[in-house]
Amino acid sequence: MRMWMIEPELLCRQHLLGEHFEIHKAAGNLRHSGKWTKSLTRKGFLEPQNFLSRHNKLVIEMERRGFMHNSPLNVSDIDLPDGNVNTEMSVRDLRKRCGECLKR
Ligand SMILES: [Zn+2]
Ligand SMILES: [Zn+2]
């Protein structure tokens, strides 16, 4: 469960759709206890302050690849904690765990 924060074009289908889904899930969690999202934010896996802009970038790439999107993200009424994802680490982790990402 994390945001990769690398150029969406570089993500394979699975990781593109996965990151999109996880943003919705993490935003939904903030409407409840928020504990799970906050703990992942502290670990450097999420940037809630960038949920909306990141979500919209992922959606542009999803639509470019022909996926339908009908789940608008509304975060205007939630308190978004600040996080910081290390993109160099993201690239390294994706290379390790996914043969499809970053090939593009
Ligand atoms: Zn969405
Ligand atoms: Zn991948």
In a domain, 2, yes or no: no
pTM listed for this prediction: 0.94
**CA 24 to ligand 1 centroid distance, Å:** 6
**Residues 24-71: pLDDT tens digits?**
999 999 999 999 999 999 999 999 999 999 999 999 999 999 999 988
In a domain, 104, yes or no: no
**CA 76 to ligand 2 centroid distance, Å:** 30
- What is the count of structural domains for the chain? 1
In a domain, 22, yes or no: yes
Which ligand gives the minimal distance to the CA of 95? 2
**CA 23 to ligand 1 centroid distance, Å:** 8
In a domain, 87, yes or no: yes
User: What's the whole-number mean pLDDT along residues 79-102?
Assistant: 94
Q: Supply 12's token pair.
A: 């394979």
Can you tell me the distance from the alpha carbon of 23 to that of 37, in angstroms, rounded to the nearest whole number?
A: 10
Residue count of the chain, please give it. 104
In a domain, 14, yes or no: yes
- Closest by CA to 8, choosing from 53, 44, 69, is 53
In a domain, 82, yes or no: yes
In a domain, 88, yes or no: yes
In a domain, 3, yes or no: no
- Closest by CA to 26, choosing from 46, 7, 43, 11, is 46
Please give all residues whose CB falls under 5 A of ion ligand 2, grouped by chain where several chains appear: 12, 15, 98, 100-101
Return the residue matching tokens 């993200």. 73
**Residue range(s) defining the domain that contains residue 13:** 8-97
- Closest by CA to 91, choosing from 80, 76, 102, 77, is 102
